[in-house]
Structure 1
Amino acid sequence: MTTSTFEIDSSNVKSMSTLKYYQLSSATPPHPEYLRRTAARMLQLQKYHKISQEYVLPIPYLCQIYHLLNLKHLEQVHNLSLKGLKVGDVSKFEQTSSGGSVKFKTSLHQSLNILRMWRQPVVEVELTLHTPYTIELTIPIYKGRKITIIFNVLPLGDNIHKLFIDIYSDLKFPSPIMQVFLHCAAGVTLLEDLPYLYKLANGNNLRRRVKSTQGSNRNTMQLFKRYIDLYGSSLEQPQSLGAVELRPLSSSSY
């Protein structure tokens, strides 16, 4: 799976279920540029696309962002589905104009972990913040193959957001079987996420964690600190000011 740049073909964009309903407002910040970046990356991966899922969750958008950018959530929240997985230190952190990326090691400490079917016991995973709405997780598997997950988190109001999950892989495995597995895995991980997300949304839990992160040197939170550096003003205003409207793209959108 490559990361070369190219011009966006609007006909291809409109054929993708996630981007078809990913219409951003023209308010500040420059949403059209965020959409362009997301579309470019998803089109690079399109030929490896396996499944899409979408959910409307009655939880503030920022709770989902914090959750996805907290590396430790992989071992703390997903103890059932990722049983025995441990997150190591960050080996590389890079900043971009709209986000950044971190590379970190994950290791499997239980021989019965189902993930051993797909990957080595120790691999270096990459997490990328493309825009304030788009996060990518790339996991190496056997023989140079990868599984890539794109999360699009779109605020619909102060206390509600829409989550799009798109999974890609160049693994040589029968697609129908792999799609069933990925749908089940994504569903289980979301069910694990919900209690944690509701807890974050309760009272001032998220605000306290954000303040704790700002004063912390933990490298597992570097990407969320980068988010705060770039988009921190959104922590102090209603999310409806930066909300999106989910409606089909018109032919004049590109």
Structure 2
Amino acid sequence: MYKSIDNSQIAANRALEIEIFTNQMKRGVWCLGVAAWIFASLERAIAIFSTSYLHLASLTQLFPPILFLLTWLFLKPEVTPTPIPTYFPLIHTNESQQLSSDDSPFPLKLKKYHLISQEYILPFSYLCQIYHLLNLKHLETIHRFSLNHLQIVSVTHTQPTRQGGKIKFTTALNSPWNPLRIWRQPLVEVDLTLHNPYTVELSIPVYNRKRITVMFNVLPLTEEEHYFFIDIYSDLQWFRPFLQIILHFAACLTLFEDLSYLKSLQQRQVQRLFQENQFPQHQNMWLYRRFVEVWEGNV
């Protein structure tokens, strides 16, 4: 599945690693600054309004942190599109040709709803990442903390496509204190779509017929290393910087939870995950079985 990597490709990929790290550092510093100025503004507001009387001199103390917060928001670093052509020489040409532009999961209308991007280089086979993304059960186990005991109730619909498939499943928030209730109903139907062997889409309905859509892109670098891209879109009409901070934190937390699981998958024989006698037969793994059915010859 992989071609040999020459020195120019290695150098290009190392340069890309530095660019990804720099972009992440800029976004991290910006998000930290936003949080700091929000805290400073709230602290001043609480101190001012907790007194028994107000006067103009005390109110003026609130203006500097608010001014700095607004200024900092306008200083948001621009997201530089990450070049991806250097990845594709590592993949067989025949396989790449199957991923035609007609099947692109990124319609132009989604661009205006883009909120955050995150990029990582992970020391695991990309097959481990695909197995993890298509395994519904891990939402209940691996993400027990971040999703606060979310429950997979049932799979309600499956639909095969030429390059993958789509599955609908119902999830329940059993805890009345689950923070996910701030933007979704306790019982909703979630969509999970395999667009091609490297792209998985998770679409979650939220209040007022809005949605949060997460696009996962997995691109192999070597047999034991891959690039992992997370892009989140939403038409929620929330204050954009606040929503971006929440989503960045949530994405980082869930990735942190995934690392030990990915490591355990890597320590197993990865190819065994895609052998027919290893297929789990329950509906939670239907999309995984569909991936193997369509792409087994390329794995």
Q: TM-score, normalised by structure 2?
A: 0.68
In the other structure, the counterpart of 1:226 is 290
Letter paired with 2:165: G
> Which 5+ residue runs of structure 2 have no aligned equivalent?
1-78
In the TM superposition, what is the alpha-carbon distance from 1:44 to its structure 2 partner?
3.5
In the other structure, the counterpart of 2:70 is none
Q: Which has the higher helix share?
A: 2
CA RMSD of aligned residues (A): 2.1
Q: Mark the CA change 1:182 to 1:213 in structure 2 (over 3 Å): closer, same or farther.
A: farther
Worse-matched range after superposition: 145-154 or 109-118: 109-118
Q: 1:175 aligns with which of 223, 240, 248?
A: 240
Q: Is the 8 A contact 1:86 1:106 kept in 2?
A: yes
Query: What's the secondary structure of 1:119's corresponding residue?
Result: coil
Measure, in 2, the Cα distance between the counterparts of 1:40 and 1:209: 26
Measure, in 1, the Cα distance between the counterparts of 2:142 and 2:214: 18
Q: 1:108 aligns with which of 168, 173, 177?
A: 173
Percent same amino acid among aligned pairs?
45
Bigger radius of gyration, 1 or 2?
2
In the TM superposition, what is the alpha-carbon distance from 1:41 to its structure 2 partner?
2.1
Measure, in 1, the Cα distance between the counterparts of 2:227 and 2:92: 19
Letter paired with 1:43: L
Is 1:130 matched with 2:130?
no
Per-residue displacement from partner, 1:70-93 (whole Å, max 9, x unpaired)?
011111110110012001221100
Measure, in 1, the Cα distance between the counterparts of 2:208 and 2:147: 21
In the TM superposition, what is the alpha-carbon distance from 1:42 to its structure 2 partner?
4.7
In the TM superposition, what is the alpha-carbon distance from 1:27 to its structure 2 partner?
2.8
Q: Which has the higher strand share?
A: 1
Is 1:84 matched with 2:84?
no
Structure number with the bigger relative contact order (C-alpha 8 A, sep ≥ 6) is 1
> Which 5+ residue runs of structure 1 have no aligned equivalent?
1-14, 236-254
In the TM superposition, what is the alpha-carbon distance from 1:112 to its structure 2 partner?
1.1
Measure, in 2, the Cα distance between the counterparts of 1:81 and 1:22: 34
Q: TM-score, normalised by structure 1?
A: 0.80
Per-residue displacement from partner, 1:117-150 (whole Å, max 9, x unpaired)?
0100000000000000000000000010000000
Letter paired with 1:137: L
Q: Mark the CA change 1:107 to 1:212 in structure 2 (over 3 Å): closer, same or farther.
A: farther
Alignment: residue pair count: 219
Residues 13-92 of structure 1 mapped to structure 2, 5 A cutoff: 17-18=81-82, 20-21=83-84, 24-25=88-89, 27-34=92-99, 36=101, 39=104, 41-92=106-157
In the TM superposition, what is the alpha-carbon distance from 1:16 to its structure 2 partner?
7.3
Measure, in 1, the Cα distance between the counterparts of 2:191 and 2:253: 22
In the other structure, the counterpart of 2:25 is none
Query: What's the secondary structure of 1:29's corresponding residue?
Result: helix
Measure, in 2, the Cα distance between the counterparts of 1:213 and 1:44: 42
